[in-house]
Amino acid sequence: MSTALAAAKMASRQANTSDKTEVKPAVFQFDSLLFWSWIALLLLGVVMVASASISYAAATEGDPAFYIKKHLVFLFMGGITSALLIRLPLAFWYQVAPFVLLVAYFLLVIVLIPGVGIERNGARRWLGAGGATIQVAELAKAALIIFLSAYLVRQGDTLRASWYGVSKPFGLLVLFMALLLLQPDFGSVVVMAGITVVLVFLAGMHFLKFISVALLGLGALSYFVLSSEYRMERITSYLDPWADQFDSGYQLTQSLIAFGRGEWFGVGLGNSLQKLLYLPEAHTDFVFAVLAEELGLLGSLVTIALLSVLIGRMFQLGVRAVNAGLAFGGFIAIGTATMFALQSLINIGVACGLFPTKGLTLPFISAGGSSLLVCMAMTAICLRVSQEIQTKAQRPTASKALKRAEKKTVNKSGAALGFSIFAKSSGKKSRNKNLREVGA
């Protein structure tokens, strides 16, 4: 009898040990397709910044490698930051989301103060820090995604039930828009508005309310465009850049010339003529035009394919996270994918002449330290989301408040948080299993 009792105790201990081993998170288990497409874009960015910036750096800084050196420094910093963020549990961001939002608002306010914010080309968008500059709008985009994701988990019921719940996220957006338009930075306004609309709609906002808010937002954006002389000038030059190709249409016409020279396979890496001080901002806002000239249509399509894989994988990751009970991580992944999609669409569209000129970088490829750091940081957080899905790391790391809120969000919103694609991604049986496992 005593022997049987001892054997039972030993088996119980072994079972407990195996259970603990099962839920222990593995640090390097994350989405490989997302990871390698990210690395490919970073490497492509290094090549294109080095090629596109040589002439401008030599003329303005006296060092042809000035901007690629700067880019590599930010890339190194972004790599260290990403390695740290991959190890941070999502529960940390859920808890500090209000603080992150307040910091973003604070930076957007102080950048407007003369003598504190740095003004370039008539816009006051940067803060100086140790010889480097930080574009605070990039940090604000990340803060909006993190806070809005946490809010939609905490207050999803209120959002779906009343106009009061809808007014909160859009009220935050209006405040962001007001501060950004004072810089001015209309491009970031469009991106942040798109992020908010997508996340709120997917969280279950009633369709009629969504249409009402969307129409109101389009009306407001139209007013800001029509009421600004320099924005209207950009619209008219975009419609017919060749009418004033040496003044308001100069940048776009030079970009179109670069596309024309590239033809099918390009003129060869490093052989662009437009980057020889003909095309302004060749290494930042118009780096895709130089890429199209040097690598041709084939290189352009490969670049678009890499961006599409990265963005599509993030959207898919968001769906998987929601179905796994990680609504907060799912919203972060979808918000980040929306930010990358809008910035890529606008940047490439501007370079091709499809949209009026806007100062938005191409994620991971354009030169720009703030944009590179934020894009890398948000991708690292998305990799953390994939890790927590695959290893069930939310069991030992998620706080009790986060587990309760996410379980309630998934239960109340069914399978979709208001969007049918979530419902189709898993059957009822597997969905019930996920709901039982959430936050356990």
The dihedral through the CA atoms of 228, 230, 235, 236 has a sign that is: positive
pLDDT at residue 413, as a whole number:
45
Q: How many CA atoms lie within 13 A of 33 on its CB side?
A: 13
Q: Does an H or E element contain 133, and which? A: strand 132-135
Facing residues of 164 across strands? none
Task: Tell me the mean pLDDT in the region 276-304.
Answer: 92
The C-alpha atoms of residue 334 and residue 355 are separated, in whole angstroms, by 24
Whether 171 has a pLDDT exceeding 60, the answer reads yes
The C-alpha atoms of residue 168 and residue 324 are separated, in whole angstroms, by 27
SS3 content of the chain, % helix, strand, coil (to 5): 75, 5, 25
Higher pLDDT, 376 or 225: 376
> Going by C-beta distance under 8 Å and a sequence separation of 6 or more, which residues neighbour residue 236?
248
- Omega of the bond prior to 184 within 30 degrees of 0, cis? yes
Task: Tell me the mean pLDDT in the region 186-214.
Answer: 86
- Using one digit for the tens of pLDDT, what is the confidence trace for 377-392? 999 999 999 999 887 5
Reduce the DSSP state of residue 61 to 3 states and report it. Answer: helix
pLDDT at residue 19, as a whole number:
45
pLDDT at residue 125, as a whole number:
84
What is the model's pTM? 0.83
Reduce the DSSP state of residue 134 to 3 states and report it. Answer: strand
Q: Is there a contact between 354 and 277 (Cβ–Cβ < 8 Å)?
A: no
- Using one digit for the tens of pLDDT, what is the confidence trace for 35-85? 999 999 999 999 999 999 998 999 888 889 999 999 999 999 999 999 999
Chain-centre distance of CA 221, in angstroms?
Answer: 21
pLDDT at residue 435, as a whole number:
32
CA distances, 218 to each of 43, 184, 196, 211, 324 (Å): 37, 18, 14, 10, 35
- Using one digit for the tens of pLDDT, what is the confidence trace for 394-407? 454 445 555 566 55
- Using one digit for the tens of pLDDT, what is the confidence trace for 417-437? 444 344 344 334 333 333 333
Nearest alpha carbon to residue 325 among 202, 195, 433, 198: 433
pLDDT at residue 419, as a whole number:
43
Chain-centre distance of CA 413, in angstroms?
Answer: 25
The C-alpha atoms of residue 307 and residue 406 are separated, in whole angstroms, by 30
- Using one digit for the tens of pLDDT, what is the confidence trace for 318-376? 999 998 889 999 999 999 999 999 999 999 999 988 888 777 899 999 988 899 999 99
